[in-house]
Amino acid sequence: MAQDLAPLHAADTLADLVPGVGEDGRPRPDAPLVAVTGVTGYVGGRLVPELLAAGYRVRAIARNPDRLRGQTWYDDVEAVKADASEPEQIAKALDGAAVAYYLIHALGSGRKFESTDRHTALVFGQAAREAGVGRIVYLGGLYPEGEDLSPHLASRTEVGEILLASGVPTTVLRAAVIIGSGSASFEMMRYLTERLPAMTVPRWVENRIQPIAIRDVLRYLVGSAAMPSEVSRGFDIGGPDVLTYRDMMQRYAAAEGLPRRVIVGVGVLTPRLSSLWVSLVTPVPSGLARPLVESLVHEVVCDEHDIAAFVPDPPTGLVGFDLAVRLALQRIQELKVSTRWSSAAVTGAPSDPLPTDPDWAGGSLYVDERRIEVDASPAALWRVIEAVGGEQGWYSWGLAWRVRGIMDRLVGGPGLRRGRRDPRHLVVDDAVDFWRVETIEPGKLLRLRAEMKVPGLAWLELRVDPVNDGEGWSNPPTAFSHRALFHPRGLVGQLYWWTVYPFHGVVFGGMQRNIARAAERAERARTDQVRPAGGR
């Protein structure tokens, strides 16, 4: 089993298809250049290091490349700013690329997501053709022929057809449920199974599904870059097992050592009601849960395995469901979840960076600032700050935070259940409950941008400064600054600030004091450990 769970790059079993790296372990200067969109998302963020390991030069395309700075591969790629729906921007970003990966979709973005997907695909296809791109690779959804598809699956299918008609040789990979640490489908199944020993479920739990491990998805994506130019078509991709959703939950329970679940199917749960139920039980918000649930109404089983003619199966075979679950759980337990469904920003959430001009001309910027001295070293205080949110919580008035999280989910926000990718460490663009890391200076500054539903833009800033010079970075006391900032939108935003402001002393003041106490406890524990026996 240890060998089965060992880390494996797609390139390890695709040596005959990929360029391979140079003697320094990096892509060669003359290696093919591939452009990747969706790099801030779950699949795109994992595909980039796989392409680099395969020997491709990578151009990472994002609307805000600064969001990529926390990635381990950032210094190894060419980060380019472009919006795939803007013709001039995406045409420039695709210039010189041999292969372009289209990993964009408007899942959970509201009622107009189909038109958004359609427009972006049309713009991208035309830009790729005019830029002389040799191949487009698109990851879509597996769907049954001859059925009325859910809006999500119908849109994914239409995008594939648009790209195939673009005039650029295109590979469309059609996958059903992806099993991997951090995927929305896996998280939904995981939390339903772990939290509900008995449940009533919609009848779609009896529909057959052919899940696929994220490891095999990435392998197909990497291998598709080398397809012959005359190949332009779609391929069904799936793992070796065909299961019902009920089977998947029971087998997950077995993998986790949980008792067999009592699952009763009923016919009254519509996709809308099911998605609301899923959003209450799991971290996946209803805006994302609904298209996932609607897709499960269909049986999604591969009709062919033609992809093997171009990307041969690995010598040990495709990853089965049980092994895929064990791989995902191992990554979670080892805190090695590199990307998560929450990696993609919430559609419609503010993305504006905090204004740096103190006399900002963009309107009112309300500030609530607090500063205290903490009898702990900067390092001890920083460790507590960097671990806020998720299972650790927010160190003050837990009920108020939970109520605010529930209110946010009811209006379509991410709420608190989104949690964190890693419980101890943060990088730029990590999601932290209904916040996102905008800036992090390790040991000094953490700035969070709100993605909750508020009538304006909001930030929370936590700063650490030594009080003493010289040895101050390793010794108490430490200054702890805490700022809440809000740029209101209209009169409603103004009313919102003055309504919640009276509670800041309890919520943010308590948070600051409790973080300080936690740091002081950690400092005392550290001091006790290093104090010589019998010392005082």
* CATH superfamily of this structure's domain 10-335: NAD(P)-binding Rossmann-like Domain (3.40.50.720)
Which segments of 145-232 are extended strands (E)? 170-175, 178-179, 198-202, 208-209, 212-213
Residue 387: pLDDT band with limits 50, 70, 90? very high
Q: What is residue 152's predicted lDDT score, i.e. its pLDDT?
A: 79
* Region 449-472 average pLDDT: 83
Are residues 99 and 32 in contact, defined by beta-carbon separation less than 8 angstroms? yes
Q: Across all residues in the chain, what is the average pLDDT?
A: 86
Residue 53, both tokens: 């390991």
Domain(s) labelled CATH 3.30.530.20 in the chain stretch across: 366-529
Q: Residue 199: pLDDT above 70?
A: yes
Q: Residue 4: pLDDT above 90?
A: no
Q: What is residue 525's predicted lDDT score, i.e. its pLDDT?
A: 87
List 266's β-bridge partners, or say none.
Answer: 202
Least confident of 49-58, 246-255, 500-509: 500-509
Structure-model confidence comparison of residues 435 and 284, the more confident one: 435
Q: What is residue 348's predicted lDDT score, i.e. its pLDDT?
A: 47
User: 3-class DSSP state for residue 205?
Assistant: helix
Q: Could you read off the pLDDT of 296-341 as tens digits, one per residue? A: 778 899 999 999 999 999 998 999 999 999 998 888 887 777 777 6
Are residues 44 and 100 in contact, defined by beta-carbon separation less than 8 angstroms? no
Domain(s) labelled CATH 3.40.50.720 in the chain stretch across: 10-335
Q: Residue 55: pLDDT above 60?
A: yes
Q: Residue 343: pLDDT above 70?
A: no
Q: What is residue 344's predicted lDDT score, i.e. its pLDDT?
A: 62
Q: Could you read off the pLDDT of 397-456 as tens digits, one per residue? A: 888 888 888 887 777 777 777 888 888 899 888 889 889 898 898 999 999 998 888 888
Residue 391: pLDDT band with limits 50, 70, 90? confident
Are residues 208 and 301 in contact, defined by beta-carbon separation less than 8 angstroms? yes
CATH number of the 366-529 domain: 3.30.530.20
One-letter amino acid at 498 equals W
Least confident of 98-112, 218-232, 394-408, 489-503: 98-112
Distance CA 442, CA 37 (A): 28
Q: What is residue 358's predicted lDDT score, i.e. its pLDDT?
A: 39
Structure-model confidence comparison of residues 142 and 363, the more confident one: 142
Are residues 61 and 82 in contact, defined by beta-carbon separation less than 8 angstroms? yes
Q: Residue 228: pLDDT above 90?
A: yes
- List the end-to-end C-alpha distance of the chain, in Å, as a whole number: 50
Q: What percent of the chain has pLDDT over 70?
A: 89
Exposure letters 385-396 (e unless 16+ CB within 10 A, then b): bbbbbbeebbbb
Collect all residues with Cβ–Cβ distance below 8 Å to 254 and sequence separation of at least 6. 260
